[in-house]
A and B are shown apart, each in its own frame.
Chain A
Amino acid sequence: MRVALVDSPIDVAALISEVSDDSCGAATVFLGSVRNVNEGRAVTGIEYSAYRSMAEREMSAIAHEAAERFGVTRLIVEHRLGTLGLGDVSVAIVSAHPHRAPALDAMRFAIEQLKRRVPIWKLELYVDGTREWVGAVSIPEGVR
């Protein structure tokens, strides 16, 4: 199990090889990447920033929760920060398990929780030169 915030391109092949093991008959990969349009506006890139210490802590908590819920300990979560262009991979989640169901469930759990809890922000850059913070609605349960 490993989580990281990275400042350089995510090497997906390296992650797959790191997570794989002869005991595992299943490996999954989820990649999030920069899309060319959001809410009807043409996007040229995204600047990702984070509250690094807390983000790493939350990502680690998510990985431990995934291990507890699904018995998946071979799980890697990497999120990239900085300025990314169209198609660049911003987040990668890879998991491996002897069987496919826990591997898929843990991967889905990790990305959904990451989007809900991890303090990372997107500044979207648009074709017309303007930029805007993306405000996904996010209030973890029981916080208030």
Chain B
Amino acid sequence: MADDDRRLNDAAERFDGYLEALLGDGRPSPESVEDRDEAEMARTAAEMAAGARTSSATGPDPAFVEQLRLRMREADAGIETVRTPPPVRDAQPQPEGIGRWRLSRRHVLQAGIGAAAGLAAGLAGVALRARTNPTGGTWDDEPLIGGEGFWTEVARMSDVPEGTALRFSTAAFEGFVVNDGGTVRALSSMCTHMGCTLHYRPDWHDLRCPCHGASFNMAGSLANGRRAWRSAGAYPGDARAYPLDLPDLARPEVKVEEDRILVWTAQA
């Protein structure tokens, strides 16, 4: 009997993990659900959670609708250009090592929503080179966008002491240059969730999203997600883990010449 009680307690505690995520409007994980009966319970709970809300709380976030619209517009345009091949341009030898001009439809459709949001809002002006993204995964091995480009000076080394970040913008890109223990990086200032603009928080050494509270570290990776909480126990100043797993921030190529920090920008 005591065994049964313990089992029930354990099941109830595990299943509460599903409810905590559901009612906290996070993303519930199937891992909290052990069998078919509990799956039925989860489903009942999900329908109840939705049904208990007023109509204004069951509709989409307007920002989501806009971002998805932009993503669809890109994809739709991509498909149109696949259907209608672009005119042949000859006698225009392309410099070596330069990739494609346009996103393939597959790229548009497979890129995460955050990535697509970024594209829609101006990332297209930056040469994203996959080999500069150490975590891989999100981007293919080929450059996402090719094209000619140039180096733009965005700051001086003396403007960016170790452990700080500085906003910059070029004609086609908004971002931060960060000095992470002597390593200089350029990071997009666009959150990979919904495309809101990140701000730098000196006390945390992170880039914080004002919309839903994602924090990115100086390497451009999500710093306050569940994985980070599991390894570190908590994130300073946050009551709970950021519930989603987000791709890294876009990282254009950067180089330092003497005191000048230069970022690669594709030619419009």
Physical interaction between A and B: no
Task: Report B's interface with A, CB cutoff 8 A.
Answer: none
